[in-house]
Amino acid sequence: MKQNTYIFIIIVLTFILSSCTRSQEEIREGPLNQYNNKPIKELEEETVDPIIKLIEDMDLEQKIGQLFIIGFNGTSMKPWIKDMIREYYIGGFILFKDNMSSIEQTLELLNSLKEENKNNPIPLFLSIDEEGGRVHRLPKSFLNMPTAKQIGDINNENISFQYGKILAKRIKALGFNMDFAPVMDINSNPKNPVIGDRAFGSNRDIVSHNGIQVMEGIRSENIISVIKHFPGHGDTSIDSHWDLPIINKDIKELKELELTPFLKGIESGVEGIMIGHIMFPKIDNTYPATLSKEIITNLLRKELSFEGVIISDDMSMGAIAKNYTIEDAAIKYLKAGGDILLLCHGEENPIIVMERIKEEVEKGRITEEEIDEKVYRILKLKEKYNISNDTIQKIDVQSINQDTKILLDKIKELKNQ
């Protein structure tokens, strides 16, 4: 893109960010707004929207880059990561435990990603799976948090909210802006090898009530909460990291159990939902949920009226990798209605998929208007949470651990009552 176009985009984004700082009440209002599912051309006729103008001045490569959150190996910036930022305009990154050896190193790594992205007008999603319990990624300097199951057993609204708030404070202090949490799965299958105590319980009301409060606690710190794994991973006996789970339930049965927490999340205004790699043959006997238009578009978008950003579970997991090439799966996901592809492993995977998406657009199998609608939802979310490339220079771990200790003492007190 030419230099004058970059300058224009920077001016527009500066306007967006400077005029859109939100209070926490505004952040918690509900679905993004009435525009999210309308075609770009129709939006232009109705309102002057700076995000639309921004999208109009992006080239196809920049738009495609926004459709990705990717992972990488190591604890420091690598040349290929710089290329993903400079040449491929990547939308965001996810960090895991192996990426974080200490608080100082993690802060430096996240700052380096932001610094590298400063020449790009659109800031990065910096995401993490920080659920508490056994799914925790942060350095050991932070105190351990209880499992979701322990929070569900207490079933106290204030405890659940504070639990989410502390999860968010930890990652916010380091520079993250998105948490793939909480888990909204109902652990209804005792043989489930992957959910277990990551769920708030086996009762839909307990999962819904506590999950929503944790979500609200996360959002209260201006961190994006992405609930997972739609439409429900609780009644599985196979771990989707290794193979494809199958759940033989129809829509009516899902509505009676699995879908309840997600519907409550949508009603509470959740902005991000992760799709799980699960097969529901009574709903779609061809594709798993991640690749299913019946589940993503017809069920989640239309029937449940979700207007936010849809994110895939890691597309390099066994459930997908054993059955599809990464590029074929990615295209099916996007055509089914998904917005962001999560690719946690494989340096070559993002470029392979990006090239395939570009090819699909050039051949008319995916329209640029479809890409624009996905990018609109993504940029709207970045705008809503006032995401920026600003770096963080210091972190008060002691203060956060003090807050954590207060919560842990309260949990212990309630358990002993």
Q: Looking at the annotation, which residues are catalytic?
A: 241, 313
Strand partners, 93: 70, 126
Residue 91 near residue 79, CB atoms below 8 Å: no
Give exposure, 92-111, as e/b (b: 16+ Cβ within 10 Å): bbbbeeebbeebeebbbbbb
Strand partners, 226: 272
Which residues, 6 or more positions from 69, have their beta carbon under 8 angstroms from its beta carbon?
91, 92, 93, 94, 125, 127, 311, 340, 341, 342, 343
Give exposure, 116-133, as e/b (b: 16+ Cβ within 10 Å): bbeebbbbbbbbbbbbbb
First to last CA, the chain: 64
3-state class of 312 per DSSP? Answer: strand
- Helix, strand, coil percent content, the chain, rounded in steps of 5: 50, 10, 40
Element (H, E) at 381: helix 368-384
| 388 HSE (CA, 13 A, CB side) | 13
Q: Beta-carbon neighbour count of residue 78 at 10 Å? A: 12
Q: Residue 64 corresponds to which tokens in the numbers above?
A: 């495609």
Give exposure, 12-33, as e/b (b: 16+ Cβ within 10 Å): bbeebeeeeeeeeeebeeebbe
Q: Beta-carbon neighbour count of residue 174 at 10 Å? A: 22
Residue 205 near residue 160, CB atoms below 8 Å: no
CA distances from 23 to 1, 216, 224 (A): 35, 14, 14
